[in-house]
Structure 1
Amino acid sequence: MSENVREKAEQTVALVDEVNAVVLPEPADAGAVVSLSEADAPVGEEIRSRMDEIDMGDTNSIVAFGSAAQAELQEISQAMLQDVRNKDVGPAGDSLRNIVTTIRGFSVSELDVRRDRSWWEKLIGRAAPFAKFTAKFEQVQGQIDRVTDDLLRHEHTLLKDIKSLDLLYEKTLAFYDELALYIAAGEEKLRELDEQIIPAKEAEVEATPEDEQVMAAQELRDLRAARDDLERRVHDLKLTRQVTMQSLPSIRLVQENDKSLVTKINSTLVNTVPLWETQLAQAVTIQRSAEAAAAVRDANDLTNELLTSNAKNLRDSNKMIRQEMERGVFDIEAVKQANADLIGTIQESLQIADEGKARRAAAETELKKMEAELRDTLASAKAKKTGLGDTASTSVPKG
């Protein structure tokens, strides 16, 4: 709620106390009409002045008898009619309900951005970001400000209505008392007609010559008709006075309702709305704190993960590096294997050489053998051809 509205609401507290302190007077001697014979001098004078308004020869004066008392009341009623009929009680109640609806629409659960999304949110792919909710809170604040402005206007309107109803009540009560004077004046006039004027007129008719009795009798009938009209008019005034008496508590009831609503509006503006704003601000602040704590927790978790991971990596790396540092240029096993392979190679070479030498020696022997066999075969073949042989020139020389 804006500071301006808060100041105006606090200033209105005095006006609320003022209208609540007003005590409206009660009608005196409800239902009693003081007759002229029982009235004191001032009241008797008022009754006589109203009796003078009646002209038994003028029907309009009888029909309009007592209407002057209602003129001022009608002016006040007509001035208030539109305001009273379309009074801002309804809109004021709507404004209060709007505040409640606005606050109920503020769901703190939506602050949690890590909450499980509803099936509808999953269906439409909508998340619940904190920034979006903060914007919604700002909208709620704006709605509260607008509604409080409306409530303040309704409150001033109702205060004006209450004061107007005070005036209406006073004028209605005055009209109620005025009707008692007119009723007393009418009843007194009827008494005069029944006891004095009509009997005198009847006597006058009887004393009138026969040729003039028709006109005199007509005047008597007119007088009696006017008397009956006055009686009906007095009866209507009595009914009007009864209805007026019933309207007095109705006006007070409307006033009490207005006063209650004004008190409620003022309490809402001064006490409830600031409390709601405080609670909403706390809700947002608490959630922000929770978000900050979650961020710190995530940072700490990440730090712990990094420390653990780095320590493990350092251990593995250090082990590998130290192992490589402690190794020679050549592993002894590799040297032993290479030496064994070299020895095996040399031995195999010597073995192959010995085998080759033995094969060559055997081949040499075989060659000599084959050569001797060849010489012998050739010698035998030549001897068969000559029969004697030529030892000197055909023999194969020994190798």
Structure 2
Amino acid sequence: MSDTTRQKAEAALVELETVTAVELAEPVDADAIVPLEKADAPLSAEITRRIAELDMSDTNSIVSFGSGAQAELQEISQAMLQDVRNKDVGPAGDSLRNIVTTIRGFSVSELDVRRERSFWEKLLGRAAPFAKFTARYEEVQGQIDKITDNLLNHEHKLLKDIKSLDLLYDKTLNFYDELALYIAAGEAKIADLDATDIPTAEAAVQEADENAQVMKAQELRDLRAARDDLERRVHDLKLTRQVTMQSLPSIRLVQENDKSLVTKINSTLVNTVPLWETQLAQAVTIQRSAEAAAAVRDANDLTNELLTSNAKNLRDTNKMVREEMERGVFDIEAVKQANADLIATINESLQIADEGKARRAAAEEEMKKMEAELRDTLAAAKARQTGLGDTTAGAVPKA
């Protein structure tokens, strides 16, 4: 991590300590609504000013009673939503997980330069183990630098959110106190209506003549309806105040989560990332040492292999030369075998000659026999032609 990034992280830590040191005011008891008759002079003046906002003849005045107190709070909330509408705390946590995933992807098995590439690695043209290791280290370093900048951006956004939540907490607390004043004003107005205005209207109905009595009765009814509307509005304000009181600890909880996440990000930037970078640098140095040691070992192994191989070759060659030197021009076994083969050849030739002579003699006898048969056959054919053979061959039919 660069010195600039480290300085930014340290500055963010100082800002975090400043933000954390801010103490937020505690809300008063939810039931601590001071009625008008028990309020001191300043508080009584505030309640009276809010009572003056009521116009019992105007329904909108009753329905919107106390709404103005929320206007400033709503403005702050909308301003925060404009800034954080597209923001999610998730990416900051994702950045932390990305660092862990990136480091865990740094496989120790790839440090072995003697490891043979698999069939698939060769087929896909993947780099050799050390080349792949070096490329992986460069990729990790680039990712760490990028994620570091990303974490710094998230840290600044979270610090801004913490400050905004402080302001939102103060305005929510003011709104909570303001609701108490409106509730007290509403209850005082209801009490005044019940004690003064409604009885006066009832008396006016009784005192009016017959023609005006209907109008006076309608005015009394409208006044009672407005009184009931005001009572319901005060009840809604009490519910709103209760919900507002519950939102205060929620704001604090979100702040604490943001502060914890900023602290974790800052610790990662200041402590963890440099430690990982140191470990990666050591891994590269160790790998280079292992590679140099492997080269020296291979050289020594080659020397020993040459010595052993040459000695063995010398022994085998010397044995072969000496054996050839001690041999005669002809081996006795070869002479004996040749003599035996020669004798066998002569005997075989004599045997074949005798067999040939016997076959020729038999063939001569056979030829003499065939010659005699042929001569007898020719003689018989001549006798039939001269008629001398009719008595001897009378059984032969004429042609």
Aligned to 2:333: none
Aligned to 1:300: 300
- Give the CA deviation at 1:124: 5.2
Aligned to 1:60: 60
1:235-384 to structure 2, matched below 5 A, reads 235-306=235-306
For 2:125 and 2:32, locate their aligned partners in 1 and report how far apart those are by CA, in whole Å. Answer: 78
* 1:193 counterpart = 2:193: yes
Gaps of 5+ in 2: 323-399
For 2:31 and 2:83, locate their aligned partners in 1 and report how far apart those are by CA, in whole Å. Answer: 31
Q: Answer with 1 or 2: which has the greater Rg.
A: 1
Task: Please give the per-residue CA displacement for 1:122-148, whole angstroms capped at 9, x wherever unaligned.
Answer: 775746331221011101111111111
Aligned to 1:168: 168
For 1:87 and 1:24, locate their aligned partners in 2 and report how far apart those are by CA, in whole Å. Answer: 25
For 1:277 and 1:79, locate their aligned partners in 2 and report how far apart those are by CA, in whole Å. Answer: 40
- Give the CA deviation at 1:160: 0.1
- Give the CA deviation at 1:303: 3.3
Which amino acid is the alignment partner of residue 171 of structure 1? K
Task: Please give the per-residue CA displacement for 1:225-270, whole angstroms capped at 9, x wherever unaligned.
Answer: 1111111111111111011011001101100100000000000111
For 1:192 and 1:118, locate their aligned partners in 2 and report how far apart those are by CA, in whole Å. Answer: 93
DSSP 3-state at the match of 1:37:
helix
For 1:221 and 1:208, locate their aligned partners in 2 and report how far apart those are by CA, in whole Å. Answer: 15
DSSP 3-state at the match of 2:54:
coil
Task: Please give the per-residue CA displacement for 1:353-374, whole angstroms capped at 9, x wherever unaligned.
Answer: xxxxxxxxxxxxxxxxxxxxxx
> In the alignment, is the contact (CA less than 8 A) between 1:66 and 1:182 conserved in 2?
yes
For 1:181 and 1:254, locate their aligned partners in 2 and report how far apart those are by CA, in whole Å. Answer: 28
For 1:172 and 1:93, locate their aligned partners in 2 and report how far apart those are by CA, in whole Å. Answer: 29
Aligned to 1:358: none
> In the alignment, is the contact (CA less than 8 A) between 1:54 and 1:62 conserved in 2?
yes
DSSP 3-state at the match of 2:66:
coil
Aligned to 1:92: 92
Which amino acid is the alignment partner of residue 220 of structure 1? L
> In the alignment, is the contact (CA less than 8 A) between 2:205 and 2:217 conserved in 1?
yes
Aligned to 1:29: 29
Aligned to 2:81: 81
Q: Tell me the TM-score normalised to structure 2 length.
A: 0.75
Aligned to 2:226: 226
Aligned to 1:210: 210
DSSP 3-state at the match of 2:37:
coil
Which amino acid is the alignment partner of residue 250 of structure 1? S
For 1:31 and 1:148, locate their aligned partners in 2 and report how far apart those are by CA, in whole Å. Answer: 49
Give the share of equivalent positions with the same residue, in percent: 79
* 1:115 counterpart = 2:104: no
- Give the CA deviation at 1:108: 1.8
Task: Please give the per-residue CA displacement for 1:209-237, whole angstroms capped at 9, x wherever unaligned.
Answer: 11101111111111111111111111111
For 2:3 and 2:294, locate their aligned partners in 1 and report how far apart those are by CA, in whole Å. Answer: 35
**What RMSD in Å do the two structures reach over aligned CA positions?**
2.5
- Give the CA deviation at 1:312: 7.9
> In the alignment, is the contact (CA less than 8 A) between 1:112 and 1:128 conserved in 2?
no
Q: Tell me the TM-score normalised to structure 1 length.
A: 0.75
> In the alignment, is the contact (CA less than 8 A) between 1:179 and 1:237 conserved in 2?
yes
- Give the CA deviation at 1:4: 2.1
> In the alignment, is the contact (CA less than 8 A) between 2:65 and 2:233 conserved in 1?
yes
Which amino acid is the alignment partner of residue 287 of structure 2? Q
For 1:88 and 1:5, locate their aligned partners in 2 and report how far apart those are by CA, in whole Å. Answer: 23
> In the alignment, is the contact (CA less than 8 A) between 2:115 and 2:129 conserved in 1?
no
More displaced 10-residue stretch of structure 1: 286-295 or 16-25 = 16-25
> In the alignment, is the contact (CA less than 8 A) between 1:33 and 1:181 conserved in 2?
yes
DSSP 3-state at the match of 2:36:
coil
Which amino acid is the alignment partner of residue 184 of structure 2? A
Aligned to 1:47: 47
Which amino acid is the alignment partner of residue 262 of structure 1? V
* 1:69 counterpart = 2:69: yes
Which amino acid is the alignment partner of residue 46 of structure 1? E
> In the alignment, is the contact (CA less than 8 A) between 2:180 and 2:241 conserved in 1?
yes
Aligned to 2:397: none
> In the alignment, is the contact (CA less than 8 A) between 1:108 and 1:283 conserved in 2?
no
For 2:231 and 2:84, locate their aligned partners in 1 and report how far apart those are by CA, in whole Å. Answer: 35
* 1:139 counterpart = 2:139: yes
- Give the CA deviation at 1:276: 1.0
Which amino acid is the alignment partner of residue 179 of structure 1? L
Q: 1:85 to 1:32 in 2, by over 3 A?
A: farther
- Give the CA deviation at 1:300: 2.3
More displaced 10-residue stretch of structure 1: 124-133 or 109-118 = 124-133
How many residue pairs were aligned? 321
More displaced 10-residue stretch of structure 1: 167-176 or 207-216 = 207-216
Q: 1:194 to 1:119 in 2, by over 3 A?
A: farther
For 1:112 and 1:250, locate their aligned partners in 2 and report how far apart those are by CA, in whole Å. Answer: 53
> In the alignment, is the contact (CA less than 8 A) between 1:35 and 1:184 conserved in 2?
yes
Aligned to 2:103: 103
For 2:43 and 2:247, locate their aligned partners in 1 and report how far apart those are by CA, in whole Å. Answer: 25
- Give the CA deviation at 1:81: 2.2
For 1:262 and 1:87, locate their aligned partners in 2 and report how far apart those are by CA, in whole Å. Answer: 15
Gaps of 5+ in 1: 324-399
> In the alignment, is the contact (CA less than 8 A) between 2:30 and 2:242 conserved in 1?
no
Aligned to 1:177: 177
- Give the CA deviation at 1:19: 1.6
For 2:65 and 2:19, locate their aligned partners in 1 and report how far apart those are by CA, in whole Å. Answer: 37
Which amino acid is the alignment partner of residue 248 of structure 1? L
Which amino acid is the alignment partner of residue 45 of structure 1? A
- Give the CA deviation at 1:85: 5.2
Which amino acid is the alignment partner of residue 254 of structure 1? V
